Chains A and B, each alone.
Chain A
Amino acid sequence: MPSTVSLIWLVVLLPFLGFLANGWLSFFRPDAKRLVSGIGVGVLVASFLVTLIVVSGLAGAAEGAPYIQTLWSWMPSGELQIGLSLQVDQLSAVMLLVVTGVGALIHVFSIGYMRDDDSYPRYFAFLNLFVFFMLLLVLGANFPVLFIGWEGVGLCSYLLIGYWYSEEANASAGKKAFIMNRIGDFGLLIAMFMIYRSTGSLNFVEVFASAPSAFVINGPTITLITLFLFLGCVGKSAQIPLYTWLPDAMAGPTPVSALIHAATMVTAGVYLIARTNVLYAMAPFSGAVVALTGAATALFAATIALKQWDIKKVLAYSTISQLGYMFMAVGMGAYAAGVFHLVTHAFFKALLFLGSGSVIYGLHHAYHQTHNEDDAQDMRNMGGLSRMMPWTTGVMWIATAAIAGAPFLSGFFSKDQILAVAFARGQDATVFYVIWALGAVAALLTAFYMTRLMLYTFHGLNRTGAEELQHLREAPWIMTAPLVVLAVGAFFGGLINLPHVLPGAGGLEHWLEPATEASAQYLAEVHLSAGLEWGLMGLATVIAAAGVFGAWRLLDSDSLVPASEAPEETGIQKILLRKYYVDELYDTYIVRPTAWLSQRVLWRIVDDGVIDGAAVNGLAKVTQFLGWVGTRFQTGNLGTYVILFVVGALWLLSATLR
């Protein structure tokens, strides 16, 4: 392995130094915004450049084995030797490029977006810290180091969702995200314990090497391990049933939504399954569960996205839905396809979020000028913005085309590959046809709700108010420039992994082979004839077109009224708007009963009543009573003593005489 790969520690260290510096500034020089931006963005760009060097070193390496760097011994305990170790291989390289590349762009965008924020250094400190943990997540050479990153990104997510913590709702949303993630982390921990028990190690290389001998294919152990791992993924990547935190997470600043809740952190679950591909390949049942959960989530979240008015909520549900596609892929053993969609999604979804951030920024400024208190994220308060924001509108259309699956854009290829695999697998088991169908319908809805978002936001009549319209303008170049770069990625991203029927096909798939080849022996060959592959691509095009056209024809953006004047929704519309009442369901059947149990039963009845009241103080009362009884005899009255003495003596006498 060339020595350049050994620079990997620097990739991780740089964002951490940025965190320390910006954290220091947030206390001692909170107004040094230029310095903060310089550091915050500088470390990311530097980290990205070092990543390029590292990855090129990896690409030039003759052998495909992962490069492992142990920084120090972390938790050594007998035969359990856990080092703070980093692992560079083809899979982590892809993730590294996404995290540092897209991350750097979002950092640049943040300079403009957060310009007027009171605690600017704190924002960049958290953002740098997030990147540090995310890098640790994708670079960890063993499960515990991955887990540092895994929980660390959750922490930063918590801190950044609740960034504007003076609003109770924001703080609550952060807390909800953390706790729901922790439910998933419980699964990840149990999986780790089981893996350690079965293989005697937690290092990826050793675990995967010993997996074939340690586990029986489709046996109960490997199935349980992979299902518990998947529980961790469900929490982190917001799949059914632990998805409800992600829409609430939109309370954070919009660049945070782009970075954490679209491009990087929420894809960690997909990464984890791709990383542990050997384990999943040996557990086909778990794989089917993963794929089915993903497909169900893809469709379910897409239906909710149809009826949301908050522009970021639409994108949040869209993210959940797209993550569902990725899980479909990795669940079916199509690891490269899953990672491919992860990459293209990072481009177009980051772009969509930043674009919506650009809109919110503009609207917010206009509202600020006119002292308007309306919701700057409600699409009913937008409309016709394309005239004021041409750049934003343009790049948003590119992203929309990409996610909707317009031919030859990035999302077209990545989504098509997933559906193609599902269709091909359907020949072995019918369940995959179901998965394919769910994915296909979700694709239709995706095209529909994205077109709806674009129509309501940028086209039709303007609903911002005449005075506000005067103040609406395009965001500064520091925000639009990253959008343009991302748009290039969203447009051409598909080139990295073209389908088999096109020339130059399977680039990413081939690149990832060293990281996934160990699982190949357990997976059935995916075979699709060229004709069928063309046919599926054609079908995907029709579906996308139907979605776009349907939205165009069915929706009447001119009849929309601003949110404050909008009538109450009814029927299915209301159910969708209220997200199938899942939050209410969780609240009624889980949150409240737990609180009630803790408050009324455990604390008041068990602790205060039974243990402390009856047992402990009851014992004390009995002792006190016996003492009191004793005192009754100590009257100080000689006559009483004489009587007691005589009674006692007689009793003794009678006892001995008997």
Chain B
Amino acid sequence: MSALLSGIGYERWVLDVLMILPLVGALGVALGPQLWPAVAVKKIALGVALAEFVVSMGLWWAFDPTIASMQFEVQHDWIPEWGVTYHLGIDGISLFMVLLTTFTMPLAVLSSWNYITEREGPFYSLLLVLTTGMLGVFVALDMFLFYVLWEVMLIPMYFLIGAWGGARRMYAAIKFFVYTFLGSLLMLVAILVMYYVVGRETGVYTFSYAHLVENAQYVGPWAFWLFAAFALAFAIKVPMFPFHTWLPDAHVEAPTPASVLLAGILLKMGTYGFLRFALPFFPEVALHPAVVAIVVPLAVVGIIYGALVAMVQPDFKKLIAYSSVSHLGFVMLGIWALTLQSVQGAIVIMINHGISTGALFFMAGMMYERRHTREISAFGGIARVVPAFATILTLVALSSIGLPGTNGFVGEFLVLIGSFGEYPIATAFATTGVIFAALYLLVALQKILFGKLHPDNEKMPDLSVRELFVLSPLVVCIVWIGVYPAPILHRIETSAQALVTQVRSQVSGQTQVSVPTQLPVVGNVEEGGGSGEGGGVPAATETTVSSLLPPPSSLVSPAGGSD
């Protein structure tokens, strides 16, 4: 298979095609009614999404799991004057985010089939533009490009919620937009600061990810603030407690496919951002005891808090939304524990959450289409009339609970066992999440499926063939990843190990010198001569808030960083 793929030059064009195809498709969908009035736009959209998926499937075989660095790289000049390039690439960390996106898109289109009846053209166009945006975020290797795509994907989502959403859609859409935008603007500032500082120090002004990550130590005293800006942008996206309140509103009001993409893909951009940018750029800040003391407890609080609040939600979609806060808490814990197992587990949870929570949102949508309500109490006892639906909902819920044999277990187990060595107490608290997850999902399952059948539900139709087509691939993945995740873990391993090693080596190279180097005291920063001396760093004596402010002179001081 991989020989065949290389025979057609797959690795040279795959990412370009994946990026451009949805845009062409969006154009086709927009112009479709004029050009081909006989063809329904949703069929065009489905065709494009399927083509996208088929093209991306080649990555599974063509990807070389033994290489830690980027593969399938493409690079074209974009704005040479600013050092901006169109630079894409995939490694073991982004591979499955790309596949998850292309896998989810056809299902999202299919789930909209009868649900979206108004303004179909714009709807599917936006969905396809969103695809390019999402894929781009995962494969961009240029910070400028990354930022542009990060914002690009915000706009279609804003419209999908605002135009096709529920009763409070405008409130939810604006909240989603403003909240996320606030974070991304801070990130933009951070990217620009990095660009200038690193440019000044190295003489090469470029937005290239590789260049910036290699020379990130030059930001010296700015590191804390830059990290904070990135972290806030990503934490909002994840969303980490307490930046999560946009999520329930956005989820509840969004139409089904938007909810699925929001949960399945968009949230992963936050955790992906931590893995790809925040940690490799600023390892010392990220693993500084003070930062760890904030992030890790917040992750654990998110796990438990999300689960407890999910338990009492009367609205099924809101319940799923809060469960996402809980699940993503595991991912954050895994990322911060930064062991091979915990990072692999975190990535597997990111995949799983896309599959299981995606499936839950699809099914919430199917329930809504039947009863026009999301209230859990409107259901009850429907297992008898919709056995296929009940079977799949049970399986999906079990996967979300993390039952061994389903995908959910593999991710959680790896995260927890990988994190336990680093943060035993926090991990022990996080492990209580397995109890709370069972609590909120089984309570919901019982209220929806079991008990007395309400007369209104007696005529409820079971799953249609189209709905089975939406859910079956997800069910297959739930079982497959649960039983035989080795091929996936194998493809993630090398890159994850490289990330862990890279980040850890920078931290361990510094710890003996002085931990709070990246938090310098105002006015205590000397002009360092060259970057070679690991010990030539201004040592900070205290880390009060005022001391965190970098003085202008520190812009040129090479504080911190191993060679």
Contacts and interface: CB of A to CB of B under 8 A. Distances in A.
B446 interface: yes
Nearest to A176: B442
Given A144-B404, A151-B404, A193 B416 contact: yes
B452 A607 contact: no
Contacts of B497: 78
Interface string A115-147: 000000000000000000000000000001001
**Cβ-closest 3 pairs across A and B:** A171-B450, A193-B420, A165-B450
Interface of A: 26-27, 72-78, 80, 84, 144, 147-148, 150-152, 155, 158, 162, 165-168, 170-172, 175, 178-179, 182-183, 185-186, 189-190, 192-194, 196-197, 594-595, 597-599, 602-603, 606-607, 611-612, 615-616, 620
B476 to A, nearest CB: 14
B281 to A, nearest CB: 25
Given A197-B420, A602-B305, A74 B485 contact: yes
A197 B383 CA distance: 43
B439 interface: yes
Given A78-B341, A197-B421, A72 B486 contact: yes
B291 interface: no
Contacts of A620: 178
A155 B403 contact: yes
Contacts of A615: 242
Nearest to B178: A620
Given A171-B446, A611-B242, A616-B245, 10 more contacts: A75-B413, A77-B341, A77-B493, A148-B404, A148-B405, A162-B446, A166-B450, A166-B452, A168-B451, A171-B450
A607 B309 contact: yes
Contacts of B398: 155
A179 B416 contact: no
A383 B446 CA distance: 37
Interface stretch (B37-45, B102-110, B152-160, B424-432): B424-432
Interface string B425-459: 00110011011001100110010011111000000
A168 B381 CA distance: 9
B489 to A, nearest CB: 6
Nearest to A167: B451
B554 interface: no
B36 interface: no
A76 B489 CA distance: 7
Contacts of A197: 420-421, 424
Given A80-B341, A599-B312, A179 B435 contact: yes
A607 B451 contact: no
A216 to B, nearest CB: 18
Contacts of B450: 162, 165-166, 168, 170-171
A111 to B, nearest CB: 23
B410 interface: yes
A72 B340 contact: no
Interface centre among A72, A148, A175, A193 (most CB of B within 10 A): A193
Nearest to A133: B405
B387 interface: yes
Nearest to B446: A171
Contacts, number: 141
A189 B403 CA distance: 12
Contact of B403 (A78, A151, A599, A602): A151
B414 interface: yes
A165 B486 contact: no
A179 to B, nearest CB: 5
12 contacts: A72-B484, A74-B486, A76-B493, A77-B340, A148-B405, A155-B403, A166-B381, A166-B451, A168-B452, A193-B431, A607-B245, A611-B242
A76 B490 contact: yes
Contact of A75 (B381, B414, B434): B414
B16 to A, nearest CB: 33
Nearest to A192: B417
A183 B435 contact: yes
B486 A152 contact: no
Given A75-B489, A179-B442, A602 B341 contact: no
A186 B381 contact: no
B22 to A, nearest CB: 33
A26 B410 CA distance: 29
Given A78-B341, A144-B404, A185 B428 contact: no
Contacts of A155: 398, 403
Contacts of A152: 403-405
Contact of B449 (A27, A165, A194): A165
A179 B439 contact: yes
Contact of A77 (B344, B403, B428): B344
A74 B450 CA distance: 34
Contacts of B345: 77
A27 B404 CA distance: 25
A616 B19 CA distance: 35
A283 B246 CA distance: 50
B56 to A, nearest CB: 25
A598 B443 CA distance: 14
B311 interface: yes
A226 B453 CA distance: 45
Contacts of A26: 387
B211 interface: no
B452 to A, nearest CB: 6
Contacts of A72: 484, 486
A152 B443 CA distance: 19
B359 interface: no
B384 interface: yes
Given A162-B450, A171-B450, A27 B309 contact: no
B484 A595 contact: no
A509 to B, nearest CB: 33
B442 A185 contact: no
A162 B242 CA distance: 37
A152 B398 CA distance: 11
A27 B387 contact: yes
Contact of A76 (B246, B404, B432, B486): B486
A595 B311 contact: yes
A83 to B, nearest CB: 9
B379 to A, nearest CB: 13
A186 B245 contact: no
B115 interface: no
B416 A189 contact: yes
Given A77-B340, A77-B493, A611-B245, A175 B404 contact: no
Contacts of A185: 434-435
B195 to A, nearest CB: 29
A151 B490 CA distance: 26
Contacts of B431: 186, 189-190, 193
A621 to B, nearest CB: 13
B290 interface: no
A324 B489 CA distance: 42
Contacts of A150: 404
Given A171-B446, A183-B435, A77 B489 contact: yes
A607 B308 CA distance: 12
B409 to A, nearest CB: 8
A645 B108 CA distance: 57
Contacts of A179: 435, 438-439, 442
Nearest to B241: A611
B17 interface: no
B179 A616 contact: yes
Contact of A78 (B340, B388, B434, B451): B340
Contacts of B313: 603
Interface centre among A78, A150, A158, A599 (most CB of B within 10 A): A78
A171 B311 CA distance: 17
A44 to B, nearest CB: 21
Contacts of A78: 340-341, 493, 497
Interface string B105-129: 0000000000000000000000000
Contacts of B410: 75
A74 B178 contact: no
Given A80-B417, A166-B453, A607-B309, A190 B428 contact: yes
